[in-house]
Amino acid sequence: MENPILSANYLRQLPKAEVHCHLEGCVPPSTAVALAERNGVTLPAGARVGDGRYHFLNFDEGLAIYVAVSRSMQTPEDFEAVTYESLTVGARGGLRYREIAFNPQNHPELSYDQMIGGILAGARAAEAAAGVVSRVVVAINRELGGEAAVRLVQDVIAHPHDEVVAIGLDSNELAGRPSEFVEAYDLARSAGLRLTAHAGEHGDSTEMVECLDLLKVDRIDHGYAALLDPQLLARTVDSQIPYSACWFVDEPALEVEGRRRDLAAMAAAGLNLSVNSDDPALIGPELDECFVDAAAHLGWSVEDAEKYALSGLDACFADDATVARLRAEFIAELDRLRPVAYGTNDK
């Protein structure tokens, strides 16, 4: 028998943790336009339509907007304000923990030290104001190659912060194989940083295998291509490595139905999935609406909703004491919310 439909109010209130969200993809168009004007940056037309959304037709156009929005953030205060706004907006939809990825290489006007100072100031203020805990993943732009990545990781290691927990790899998968980044990943691992990488989003499963075998990642970002590789699928079901799946697509032409089908198949195969927003302002929507959509399309029961509420904590790179504290808070909150799981008072 099918599960009864979970209330959207319940899903929005669930405590949530996400591990795959790009800071620069959290900047709403109105903020981007203000930053760009102040800092003398020209945004692509698709960022200036004025209807509260970004407009792009494919991944390359979306990435071009992402890079231009990144370039519009040019002071530590810009980073602080964007971080604070993104976390407090997320907190309104039940966000309690976020791993924030950001691309230092897309902000050549600022030093790593200046950027991370702004992010951590915004993150601490958001935790004080809205109770949302965050950690940072420093993401390598794979389009800039392995040597630049090593320099970035050296910079991260030279400016240690407890909140900076991992190295990631993103941007256009078709423009840089994981194998180019072995030295950067080895260096990060030896400094105690955790490791994640985008793979199998637009590239094929060989990218994912390289991430596992050569970069020795602790987590895979996206990973939909595993569905086309039975051996990799079986291997990662077996290992239960976390996949930070993202519910909505960055390529409108691909249509969201395809992504929903992939995620349903990945869940049915038994992969260890969490639900993530990726770029909530660029692609949309915020994490709470991803939960509402996922519950409807995967036919979640209350147990499923609770499992996915906790799955981001299971996949995260925060220290054990922080995770244990959050887990206890989540479990108490899930118990409190269970009676309203099938409430009808929502849209």
Taking the least distance from each CB to Zn ion, the nearer of 10 and 54 is 54
Taking the least distance from each CB to Zn ion, the nearer of 153 and 197 is 197
| Contact call for residue 201 and ligand ADE (CB under 6 A) | yes
Contact 116, 161 (CB under 8 A): yes
Residues 223-252 that bind ligand ADE (CB under 6 A): 250
Who's near 239: CB < 8 A, 6+ residues apart?
none
Taking the least distance from each CB to ligand ADE, the nearer of 12 and 20 is 20
Q: Closest separation between CB of residue 333 and ligand ADE, Å?
A: 29
Letters for 246-285 (x = contact with Zn ion by CB under 5 A, - = none) are --------------------------------x-------
Taking CA atoms, 282 is separated from 9, 24, 70, 293, in Å, by: 24, 9, 12, 18
Taking the least distance from each CB to ligand ADE, the nearer of 67 and 87 is 67
**CA-CA distance, 97 to 241, in Å (whole number)?**
20
Q: Which of 207, 279, 286, 288 binds ligand ADE (CB under 6 A)?
A: 279
Taking the least distance from each CB to ligand ADE, the nearer of 223 and 312 is 223
For 185, how many CA atoms within 13 A lie in the half-sphere containing its CB? 21
**CA-CA distance, 92 to 308, in Å (whole number)?**
18
Looking at the DSSP bridge assignments, the partners of residue 273 are 243
For the question of residue 255 being annotated catalytic, the response is: no
- Report residue 157 as tokens: 């290691």
**CA-CA distance, 20 to 37, in Å (whole number)?**
29
Residue nearest to Zn ion (CB): 278
| Contact call for residue 99 and Zn ion (CB under 5 A) | no
Size of the residue set binding Zn ion (CB under 5 A): 1
Taking the least distance from each CB to ligand ADE, the nearer of 171 and 272 is 171
Contact 166, 137 (CB under 8 A): yes
| Contact call for residue 289 and ligand ADE (CB under 6 A) | no
Q: Which does 201 bind (CB under 5 to 8 A by kind): ligand ADE, Zn ion, none?
A: ligand ADE
**CA-CA distance, 33 to 47, in Å (whole number)?**
8
The one-character DSSP state at 265 is H
| Contact call for residue 61 and Zn ion (CB under 5 A) | no
Q: Which listed residue (24, 173, 201, 251) is catalytic?
A: 201
Contact 125, 134 (CB under 8 A): no
CB atoms within 10 A of CB 27: 29
Contact 57, 253 (CB under 8 A): yes
Size of the residue set binding ligand ADE (CB under 6 A): 10
Name the strand (E) or helix (H) holding 13.
helix 8-13
**CA-CA distance, 179 to 193, in Å (whole number)?**
19
Residues 64-83 that bind ligand ADE (CB under 6 A): 66
Q: Which of 16, 107, 198, 259 binds ligand ADE (CB under 6 A)?
A: 198
Interface with ligand ADE by CB under 6 A: which residues?
22, 25, 66, 170-171, 198, 201, 250, 278-279
Catalytic machinery residues:
201
Interface with Zn ion by CB under 5 A: which residues?
278
